[in-house]
Amino acid sequence: MIVAETVTDLRRALAPSRGKDRIALVPTMGCLHEGHASLIRKARGLADIVVVSIYVNPLQFGPNEDFDRYPRTFEADKALCASEGADIIFHPASLYPEGGPQVTLTVDDKLADTLCGAHRPGHFDGVATVVNMLFNIVQPEIAVFGEKDWQQLTIIRRMVADLQLPVEIIGGETVREADGLAMSSRNRYLGEDARRQAVALSRALLSMRTEAAAGMHNTSELLIEARKVLATAAIVPEYLDIRDANTLQPLEKLRPGTPARAFIAAKVGNARLIDNMPLGIHAQTHEPDPQTEKQP
């Protein structure tokens, strides 16, 4: 496994593979866990060369966020990448010129000024800018992103479509702890009590999923159920909502043919955690949708 610390080193490492091998990129900010391992395995199964980038991108952190204390665990990350069969780690000290970049990408408010973006101004502009740079540097055929960051995944898919970027985006399912907590680098901020509380996030999403499958299709009713679960753990969510999974627009009702997803973010102890889950509706219980169902 090669560790490339500069763009020049990375390009040199990839030169023999260009035009010959299928290259996959797994972009990360390090502090790798089983969730990242599953993304690397997915990439490994789809490509000849797997590049894992490890870069804590300052552009996607707000002034009062955790950029300085974001865990940097390079030696452990390197061991995980090696054991998952990554070929190259791209680990630059910085990707931006002195004084910061003067040209960056802007994501439209419809996708970026909602859910996490509403609470983290500029965050998705920073993500889009760095991911676009990583695509330009690595020039992968495919790139794998976790579904835990569903809004990020949606925005990256849209960026690739809008900017005609020649890369296929693959989503990797969220990996969970045994009790359901979504794996996240920020889980290590949780103390014992907060760790116990944190499981309420996935339980709240699961309660909506169960009720939806049983026939509850009004999103306001589903959200009331989820809030009850959160209340038992004294969690006040930053946001809790059900959206169209593709457009991220709010949904009043679950309908066949419209993929719905429940989203949550909450501060638990010292950690800001996010999670999401798809909501399916039971085929037997759905009401006919005049838009999608043909009359006999």
Residue 167 lies near ligand PAF (rule: CB under 6 A):
no
Q: Which amino acid is at 41?
A: R
Q: Could you give the string, one character per residue 51-70, with x where binding to ligand PAF holds by CB under 6 A and - elsewhere?
A: ------x--x----------
Name residue 171's beta-bridge partners: 145
Of 47 and 156, nearer to ligand PAF (C-beta) is: 156
Query: Segment near ligand PAF (CB under 6 A), from 37-45, 125-133, 211-219, 233-241?
Result: 125-133
Residue 29 lies near ligand PAF (rule: CB under 6 A):
yes
> Choosing from 36, 91, 123, 217, which is the catalytic residue?
36
190: left (phi > 0), else alpha (psi -120 to 50), else beta? beta
Residue 276 lies near ligand PAF (rule: CB under 6 A):
no
Residue 80 lies near ligand PAF (rule: CB under 6 A):
no
Number of chain residues interacting with ligand PAF (CB under 6 A): 10
Query: Segment near ligand PAF (CB under 6 A), from 25-33, 37-45, 169-177, 211-219?
Result: 25-33
Question: 235: number of CA atoms within 13 Å, CB side?
Answer: 34
Q: Which amino acid is at 7?
A: V
Residue 184 lies near ligand PAF (rule: CB under 6 A):
no
What are all long-range contacts of 100-109, with beta carbons under 8 Å and residues at least 24 apart? Answer: 100/59, 101/59, 101/129, 104/59, 104/129, 105/129, 105/132, 105/159, 107/155, 107/158, 107/159
Residue 172 and residue 39 in contact, taking contact as beta carbons nearer than 8 Å: yes
Q: Which amino acid is at 286?
A: H
Q: Where are the alpha helices (DSSP H) in the chain?
A: 7-14, 34-46, 74-83, 109-112, 116-119, 123-138, 150-162, 192-213, 219-232
Q: What's the min distance (Å) between Cβ of 257 and ligand PAF?
A: 30
Q: What's the min distance (Å) between Cβ of 36 and ligand PAF?
A: 9
Residue 127 lies near ligand PAF (rule: CB under 6 A):
yes
Report the residue from 23, 27, 222, 281 that binds ligand PAF according to the rule CB under 6 A: 27
Query: Segment near ligand PAF (CB under 6 A), from 81-89, 104-112, 123-131, 186-194?
Result: 123-131
Which residue do the tokens 């989503």 mark?
171
State how far the Cα of 263 lies from the Cα of 245, in Å rounded to an integer: 10
State how far the Cα of 5 lies from the Cα of 23, in Å rounded to an integer: 18
Of 159 and 268, nearer to ligand PAF (C-beta) is: 159
Report the residue from 149, 211, 241, 275 that binds ligand PAF according to the rule CB under 6 A: 149
Of 50 and 130, nearer to ligand PAF (C-beta) is: 130
Cα 191 versus chain centre, distance: 23
Residue 130 lies near ligand PAF (rule: CB under 6 A):
yes
φ, ψ dihedrals at 80, nearest 5°: -65, -45
Query: Segment near ligand PAF (CB under 6 A), from 126-134, 159-167, 247-255, 286-294?
Result: 126-134
36 is catalytic: yes
Which residues of the chain form contacts with ligand PAF (CB under 6 A)? 27-29, 57, 60, 127, 130-131, 149, 152
Q: Which residues are catalytic?
A: 36
